[in-house]
Structure 1
Amino acid sequence: MNGSIGIITALLLIWSGTAQAADPRYPDWPCIQAKVPEISLAAVWAGPSIDDVSSAWKDDAQVSALVERLATRRVPVEEAQKAITDFLSQSPDKARAGKLIFAGLFDSLNAQRATVLAGLERVTRKQREAADRVRADTAMLQTLQNASPPDQAKIDELNNKLLWEARIFDDRRRVVTFVCEVPTLIDQRLFALSRTIQQEME
């Protein structure tokens, strides 16, 4: 039984060592990567102003359908770039079409990022609550084990509960590590596609 406590304690130590927010402005941010709340327009777009198209991309059925496809991360970047090239090569107003596509991508991918960021912080709060429960149950288990005589049935029941809690806790921790990469991947996708749009507009 003490082996189980050791494993659980080690998990909690690993999590507490990585759960300290690097930036006090974002106490629930769990990633090593710095939290950037949204993509800066200037960081990804050096083309003409998109102020005149703003949300107009939503009113163009062809553009909005294309944007939806381009913003889907399972579509390879190379395939998305070719779709942009094909679309703009057939557009009678390449400059406006390019701005509409970019405006749509900028809105869509920023919204994706916001969802991912909120999800990561929500999981951090759940992990914090789970860690408190695991610590309380671990203390209770130690108390039961030190009792004289020990109630073996209760000890076994609580030990099984703790192992299950620890498994869920560790699974979440692993998922967070993977998902922390997603905002960067979204940034890279938007930058690559915006470059393609700008090259086609020139």
Structure 2
Amino acid sequence: MKVLAMAAFALAVASTAACAADPRYPNWPCTQAKVPDISLAAVWAGPALDDAETKWKDDAKVTALVSKLSARKTPMDEAEKSVKEFLAGSAADKTANAKLLFAGLFDTLNAQRSQVMNGLERVSRKQREAADKIREESIQLQALQSATPRDDAKVDALSNQLIWETRIFEDRHKVVRFVCEVPTAIDQRLFALGRVIQQEME
């Protein structure tokens, strides 16, 4: 019966996640609301980016710095210091460079965010399929356990399979809960870096 209890727990988790989902985004597994894209106006109050939105990729220094700053492994204090060092210079250069740098960060972090969110929805679909399979196999196991005569070999084989599948389901659920925090962390990083860039322009 322990196997069926594990399976029931996995199905309860799946059911709770399904109920919590935004009906507009049926595959979104997080309790956090899904915001598909970051609005530029929400994170940037500086001058219009204009052609910086495409030209930032042509500047080797900017692309290298954007890569460093957008990496979550780069501590924020180190990232802020790098922004200040990069924007040291004349007012004209500072504005142009600031626009290029933020355009690159906005583009890159938005892309990272979309990639994470798409991955979460892929895993959510797999979890739904796994829950359906666990449900079907739980019913099969109950039937095998109640059968007369009882085939213990089949009961053991299906029990072991259910244990394995339920553990995979639970492990994925734990990972999803952790990864659900990532889009918010990316939002916060972009907002914080945008604020530093704007402060350096003043």
TM-score, normalised via structure 2 length: 0.96
Could you tell me which amino acid in structure 2 is paired with residue 59 of structure 1? D
Corresponding residue for 1:113? 113
Aligned-pair CA distance for 1:22: 3.7
Aligned-pair CA distance for 1:51: 1.6
**What aligned pairs does 1:147-186 form with structure 2 within 5 A after superposition?**
147-186=147-186
Q: Which runs of 5+ in 1 are unaligned?
A: none
Measure, in 1, the Cα distance between the counterparts of 2:100 and 2:156.
62
Q: Secondary structure at the match of 1:50?
A: coil
2:83–2:197 contact (8 Å) kept in structure 1: yes
Measure, in 1, the Cα distance between the counterparts of 2:170 and 2:164.
10
Aligned-pair CA distance for 1:137: 0.9
Question: Alpha-carbon deviations, 1:81-104, whole Å to 9, x = none?
Answer: 100001111477010000000000
Could you tell me which amino acid in structure 2 is paired with residue 30 of structure 1? P
**What aligned pairs does 1:117-132 form with structure 2 within 5 A after superposition?**
117-132=117-132
Could you tell me which amino acid in structure 2 is paired with residue 62 of structure 1? K
* Cα RMSD, aligned residues only: 1.1
1:21–1:28 contact (8 Å) kept in structure 2: no
Aligned-pair CA distance for 1:50: 0.3
Could you tell me which amino acid in structure 2 is paired with residue 40 of structure 1? S
Measure, in 2, the Cα distance between the counterparts of 1:7 and 1:163.
7
Corresponding residue for 1:67? 66
Question: Alpha-carbon deviations, 1:160-196, whole Å to 9, x = none?
Answer: 0000000000000001101110000000000000000
Corresponding residue for 1:4? 3
Measure, in 2, the Cα distance between the counterparts of 1:146 and 1:23.
40
Aligned-pair CA distance for 1:106: 0.1
Question: Alpha-carbon deviations, 1:106-139, whole Å to 9, x = none?
Answer: 0000000000110111111000000011111111
Compared CA separation, residues 128 and 22, structure 1 to 2 (3 A): closer
Identity of aligned residues (%): 61
Deviates more, 1:15-24 or 1:91-100: 15-24
**What aligned pairs does 1:34-45 form with structure 2 within 5 A after superposition?**
34-45=33-44
Corresponding residue for 2:31? 32
Aligned-pair CA distance for 1:21: 4.7
Could you tell me which amino acid in structure 2 is paired with residue 87 of structure 1? F
Measure, in 1, the Cα distance between the counterparts of 2:13 and 2:195.
40
Measure, in 1, the Cα distance between the counterparts of 2:143 and 2:163.
17
Measure, in 2, the Cα distance between the counterparts of 1:120 and 1:22.
12
Could you tell me which amino acid in structure 1 is paired with residue 164 of structure 2? W
Measure, in 1, the Cα distance between the counterparts of 2:123 and 2:7.
19
1:8–1:166 contact (8 Å) kept in structure 2: yes
Measure, in 2, the Cα distance between the counterparts of 1:37 and 1:52.
24
1:67–1:104 contact (8 Å) kept in structure 2: yes
2:137–2:158 contact (8 Å) kept in structure 1: yes
Measure, in 1, the Cα distance between the counterparts of 2:22 and 2:143.
38
1:28–1:124 contact (8 Å) kept in structure 2: yes
How many positions carry a matched residue from both structures? 201
Could you tell me which amino acid in structure 2 is paired with residue 12 of structure 1? L
